[in-house]
Amino acid sequence: MKSILIADAGSTKIEWTLINFRGEILCSFITVGLNALLANRQDMDNIFNDVKEMFLNTQVIDNIYYYGAGCATLEICNKIEMSLRYCWKDAEIFVGSDLLAAARSLFGQDEGVACILGTGSNSCLYNGEKIVDHIPSLGYILGDEGSGAALGKRLLGDILKKQLPGKIITDFMVEYKESLPHVLDTVYRKVSPNRYLASFVPFLHKNLWCHEVYSLVLVEFIAFFKRNVVMYEVSNNVDIRFTGSVAFHFEKILKEAALAVGCKVTEVTEKPMQGLVGYHSLKMSGYE
């Protein structure tokens, strides 16, 4: 029976789903994450071998669709494909970016502006087949507006510079027990400062009752739309859709920010996998 293995790979975890030709999910599981831009061949081989041996060794895989963080160039995609090919020699393999995963998940074969708001942020204009325009994310230092990292950076800066109400500052320090030396060391010297900054997003979410906190989030989302969405200059009838944990948990404020700049968000999902299953099921059934 024809089967497809779909991977949605982030830096911290990879979500794997195996489906049959009817689009029925045969199994789904999580492994350690992988950023193709940073990982070496051994890292890739270890993860993919574990998947084959522990979960799918007895299952014939006909097609593999791997969408991953860091899969931004043909060279990097080829590197991932070679490692996958080592484990599944006879499978047809496709490697694409996490942004393409978002677009296919959100729009299928329709056109629109696809956006990601998670630890990082990104957006693209999708024509139903491929990405036709893309404003670069630029990462958490130069960009990533509206992302978990950007929100955490704003929060941490406002806490340390005493820009927020006293109760918010006190509650933050009690919960996280942060100090200026630790913050500076973690942000400027340790690995993955973007994930560290994004770890403070839950504090923002539970303190949205505070006007200053709400405003912080709203302003950051407005910046995302101004710098990553309106630049596409599409007509008002083109849908704008989001996927990602930040978009999902802050959906109300996200839609308010959209309206503030003349946009309208028509759909928000937490993860792209469900939409990817639907997309590839439809393609496999032959109804293109």
**Secondary structure E strands in the chain:** 3-9, 13-20, 25-32, 63-68, 92-97, 112-117, 121-126, 131-133, 240-243, 265-269
Q: What is the pLDDT of residues 184-223, one digit of tens each?
A: 999 999 877 888 999 999 999 999 999 999 999 999 999 9
DSSP annotation of 272: S
pLDDT, averaged across the chain = 89
β-strands 112-117, 240-243: how paired?
A: parallel
Report the run of H or E that residue 218 belongs to, with start and end.
helix 211-228
Give pLDDT tens digits along the chain (288 positions): 678 899 998 877 889 999 988 888 888 888 888 777 767 788 888 888 888 876 555 677 889 999 988 788 899 899 999 999 988 888 899 999 999 999 999 999 999 999 999 888 999 999 999 999 999 888 878 888 999 999 999 999 999 999 999 999 999 999 999 989 999 999 999 877 888 999 999 999 999 999 999 999 999 999 999 999 998 877 677 899 999 999 999 999 999 999 999 999 999 999 999 999 999 988 776 544
User: d(Cα 153, Cα 74) in Å, to the nearest integer?
Assistant: 32
Structure tokens at 54: 């522990």
Structure tokens at 164: 């927020």
User: d(Cα 217, Cα 147) in Å, to the nearest integer?
Assistant: 10
User: d(Cα 84, Cα 52) in Å, to the nearest integer?
Assistant: 10
Q: What share of the chain is helix, strand, coil (3-state, %, to 5)?
A: 50, 20, 30
pTM > 0.75 = yes
Report the run of H or E that residue 104 belongs to, with start and end.
helix 98-107
**What are the backbone dihedrals phi and psi of residue 3, each rounded to the nearest 5 degrees, phi first?**
-140, 150
Structure tokens at 203: 């504090």
User: d(Cα 81, Cα 169) in Å, to the nearest integer?
Assistant: 47
Report the run of H or E that residue 255 belongs to, with start and end.
helix 251-260
Q: Domains of the chain, with CATH numbers?
A: 3-109+272-285 (3.30.420.40)
Structure tokens at 57: 């060794």
Q: What residues contact residue 13 under an 8 Å CB cut-off, 6+ apart?
A: 30, 31, 32, 33
**What are the backbone dihedrals phi and psi of residue 261, each rounded to the nearest 5 degrees, phi first?**
-115, 15
CA 232 to chain centre: 20
In single-letter form, the type of residue at position 156 comes to L
